[in-house]
Amino acid sequence: MLSDQQSGSGKPPDINDNLVKKPAEIDGMRRAGGFNGRLLDFIRPYVQAGTTTGRLDDLVRQYTLDHGHTPACLGYHGFPKSCCISINNVVCHGIPSGHEYLRDGDIVNVDLTTIVDGYYGDSSETFMLGEVAPQARDLVEVTACALLRGVAAVKPGRPLYAVADAIEPWVRSRGCSVVHQYTGHGIGRMFHEHFTVYHHRDSDEQPILMKPGMTFTIEPMINRGDWKVVTDKKDKWTVRTADGSLSAQFEHTVLVTESGVEVLTLTPSQKQAGAILMVPGMELNSDV
């Protein structure tokens, strides 16, 4: 993650002009986000107990290439696969494997990023396989609602930390925690543009104002236990909860508009339902 942080007080600074997208760039982001949403709906029926995460990765890569686009994760700083798949206590950056099978009771995050004509789309969902434990189901609901609350907080003229204000206190009230080490980020022609979108309040956060034309991800990673995480010493990628508790994540790429927010990575099924996010069997509440 790239961040642009400084301490200080006073009037929040303006975003640099190169981080506010021009109309042609916004069209590019809409194309990238639209494809990423279609990719997520494509892989959805394959996320089932009995399949391997490696098989899901193969499907993601082939679908992306067949449509003339590029899997952004593949080779990114040496990452070996086309997407990240994180199971149960894996917070993020899970490396798909042909030896890793999904099982009933798992919660599984599938994180997809695609380059379309030079622009990046980025989104993820956590799936519940079969009968999951009540605490796992509650965590998925809390995480989904955290994303919805973050999206609802996006309005021009508001400080960017309004996203964190909408997410962290509510998550803590539900007995869960927000991962600090991984955040949302600006996105465009780069995977990670030079500002950070926190989901927790950080005392060093630069008080950036949201402006029409900004595009960034909101992707809260929520733990059932403590917020601390550890990175696998062998593969240098897989991030797990430090206390072994469950973790979940949902993510969308958004655009700040003149009146509010546009979600760029909606899936076809979400568009058809008129919803920003859907989790089977849950009624999600995004009140801020």
For residue 110, the one-letter residue type is: V
Q: Which of 155, 123, 142 is nearest to 225 (CA)?
A: 142
Spell out the domain ranges in the chain: 17-273
Question: Is the predicted pLDDT of residue 10 greater than 50, yes or no?
Answer: no
96: left (phi over 0), alpha (psi -120 to 50) or beta: beta
Q: Smallest Cα–Cα separation from 131: which of 28, 23, 281, 255?
A: 281
pLDDT confidence tier of residue 17, bands split at 50, 70 and 90:
low
* Confidence band for 8, pLDDT divided at 50, 70 and 90: very low
Fold of 17-273: Creatine Amidinohydrolase (3.90.230)
CA 98 to chain centre: 24
According to DSSP H, which parts of the chain are helical? 23-43, 53-66, 134-152, 162-173, 268-273
In the block, tokens 């058809």 appear at 272
Buried b / exposed e along 53-81 (16+ C-beta atoms within 10 A) = bbbbbebbbebbeeeebbbbbbeeeebeb
Q: What pLDDT score does 244 carry?
A: 98
Cross-strand partners of 263: 254
> Phi and psi for 17 in degrees, rounded to 5?
-55, -35
Query: Mean of the pLDDT values across residues 69-93?
Result: 98
- 144 in Cβ contact with 270 (< 8 Å): no
Average pLDDT value for residue range 109-138: 98
**Rounded Cα distance, 103 and 109, in Å:** 13
Q: Is the pLDDT of residue 138 over 90?
A: yes
Which region among 77-81, 109-113, 282-286 has the lowest average model confidence (pLDDT)?
Answer: 282-286
Q: Dump pLDDT digits (tens) for 18-27.
A: 679 999 999 9
> Which residues are CB-contacts of 256 (< 8 A; sequence separation ≥ 6)?
154, 155, 156, 210, 211, 212, 213, 214, 215
Contact 115, 69 (CB under 8 A): yes
Residue 131, exposed/middle/buried by CB under 10 A (0-12, 13-18, 19+)? Answer: exposed
The contacts of residue 262 (CB under 8 Å, 6+ apart) are 254, 255
Q: What whole-number percentage of the chain has pLDDT above 70?
A: 91
Tell me the whole-structure pTM to 2 decimals: 0.93
What mean pLDDT do residues 203-212 have? 81
Report pLDDT digits (tens) over 146-193: 999 999 999 999 999 999 999 999 999 999 999 999 999 999 999 999
- Flag whether pLDDT at 89 surpasses 60: yes
Mean pLDDT across the stretch 61-71? Answer: 98
Mean pLDDT for 186-204 is 90
